[in-house]
Amino acid sequence: RDDRFSRLTPDHVAYFRDLLGDNGSALIDGVNGAADDDLAPFNSDWMRKYRGHCQLVLKPSTTEEFSKILRYCNEHMLAVVPQGGNTGLVGGSVPVFDEIVLSMSRMSRILDFDEVSGTLVAEAGVILEVADQFLASKGYIFPLDLGAKGSCQLGGNLATNAGGLRLLRYGSLHGTVLGIEAVLPDGTVVDDLSRLRKNNTGYDLKQLFIGAEGTLGVITKVSIQCPQRPAAQNVAFFGLESYEQCQKAFREAKGQLSEILSAFELMDEGSQALVHRVTGNKRPLESTYPFYCLIETSGSNVDHDSEKLQNFLESVMEQGVVADGTLAQDETQLRSLWSWREGITEALGHLGGVYKYDVSIPLPQMYQLVEDTRARVAEAGLLGDSESDPVRAVVGYGHMGDSNLHLNVATRAFDERVEKVLEPFVYEWIAERQGSISAEHGLGLAKKKFIGYSRSPIMVGLMKQIKGLYDPKGIMNPYKYI
């Protein structure tokens, strides 16, 4: 614990209670007796890997309340952690020691939607799926989709610069976000809630908050450009004999499906066997294959798109690129095929502790990382089916269309022996190939020590200067990557 930070006193809590009102829904106060059970969900992350010891959760419902809280915390040297849906995968959303949790859950209003331009303005605590359902009722779609959509929030999505399943089609949040409102640690409200697509008046400061993981300020509102909801969506699921064939299939998909291609996802057999084991669901194909690809198309004409995808499937099967494949015939089948991809994260979580590596590597070498890691873990005698083997599986899956691989090492329980075999090995492997050690999840606490594998000392130095400018006292999400 950094001794520069004050410890919470009843006087501090009285100030917050006074500000937010004493109605029970606005704060959870462990200093004055709230049960640990009430605080526990805010102290523990989605993976149950990190556990903090916060005694106070504040749930402001207006920007003004955030501003007053942060100004007070800054003056009194109280450290804070912004927390959205708490689905982050790098330990960034939970306190490390006794930092106050600033929950965004009551900032959950949709503020405005322009049906002509597709611009949505919403508070940062709106749940992603809620925003998408609202947009569906207007004929639009949120330009980001991910497996945690039922819990994660727009502010958390921006703060992590989440990539997700359709980045290939709609691009990154750095392009789709038009504006933000944020509160700095000293209480200053940065009102950059622009609804303009073009705005070249000086530095584009909002970009700094996208991917800052709550280290510069709290994002309170978001304005984002949403595309028209596609009238037709189709999904195909393929089995392939090698990673080489997956690359060929991707190349063909880009060529043959071009403008309607909206997702190209990769899953290895290990990841699919796990989903099968956990859900018990019937697998999409009759046989098993070393690799699977899920392809989604989104377009405006059902017949045209189905025909294109059908032709594509026939062509890649004739060429021997794909060994077997199936097309979703209706919405239920479409969702079912997607569940084999989206369900991997949760299935892995059922096994015990998971070491997660979210990496970006040039496509030709991408899957080699999984094979090399599996071989290394096996050589160390750690991989196997018996109770005494700490590692149960080394699997790979991810957003192949974005050269983004998720290497996951599933263990019976988090184990230092395993960690030593994996780290820094994985990071060195990536750095040697000029890859990124965090493609979309961020650095948080989990990857904080390893930033140097993907960023030069000069760049880390510049990041520290920016941090110093926005948060000179360092109260915003301390102990994390910066």
* Residue in the structure block whose two tokens are 């530095």: 203
3-state secondary structure of 222: strand
Strands 177-183, 119-123: parallel, antiparallel or unpaired by DSSP?
Answer: unpaired
Residue 185 binds: one of ligand FAD, ligand MLT, none (C-beta under 5 to 8 A by kind): none
Kindly state whether residue 230 participates in binding ligand FAD, applying the rule CB under 6 A: no
User: Among residues 238 and 470, whose Cβ is nearest to ligand FAD?
Assistant: 470
Strand locations in 256-388, DSSP E?
A: 261-268, 291-299, 324-327, 354-360
Stretch near ligand FAD under the rule CB under 6 A, chosen from 13-21, 197-205, 214-222, 428-436: 214-222
Residue 406 binds: one of ligand FAD, ligand MLT, none (C-beta under 5 to 8 A by kind): ligand MLT
* Residue in the structure block whose two tokens are 């979210």: 358
Kindly state whether residue 406 participates in binding ligand MLT, applying the rule CB under 6 A: yes
What strands, in cross-sheet order, belong to the sheet with 261-268? 324-327, 232-240, 291-299, 261-268, 391-399, 404-411, 354-360
Residue 285 CB, nearest distance to ligand MLT (Å)? 20
* Calpha distance 52→75 (Å, rounded): 23
| Nearest residue to 257 (alpha-carbon basis) of 200, 205, 296 | 296
* Structural tokens at position 51: 């556990």
Residue 39 CB, nearest distance to ligand MLT (Å)? 26
* Structural tokens at position 135: 């947009």
User: Among residues 154 and 359, whose Cβ is nearest to ligand MLT?
Assistant: 359
| Nearest residue to 284 (alpha-carbon basis) of 437, 131, 3, 275 | 275
Residue 372: other Cβ atoms inside 10 A: 16
* DSSP-derived secondary structure letter, 323: S
Kindly state whether residue 268 participates in binding ligand MLT, applying the rule CB under 6 A: no
Total count of residues recorded for the chain: 482
Kindly state whether residue 143 participates in binding ligand FAD, applying the rule CB under 6 A: no
Residue 85 binds: one of ligand MLT, ligand FAD, none (C-beta under 5 to 8 A by kind): ligand FAD
Query: Which of 225, 345, 403, 408 contacts ligand FAD by CB under 6 A?
Result: 345
Alpha carbon distances (Å) from 422 to 215, 235, 462? 28, 35, 29
Residue 377 binds: one of ligand MLT, ligand FAD, none (C-beta under 5 to 8 A by kind): none
User: Among residues 118 and 147, whose Cβ is nearest to ligand MLT?
Assistant: 147
User: Among residues 233 and 345, whose Cβ is nearest to ligand MLT?
Assistant: 345
The binding track of 352-391 with respect to ligand MLT, each residue x by CB under 6 A or -, is: ----x-x---------------------------------
In the complex, which residues of this chain contact ligand MLT (CB under 6 A)? 147, 344-345, 356, 358, 406
In the complex, which residues of this chain contact ligand FAD (CB under 6 A)? 46, 81-89, 92-93, 104, 124, 146-148, 152-153, 155-157, 159-160, 162-165, 213-214, 218-219, 345-346, 440-441, 444, 477
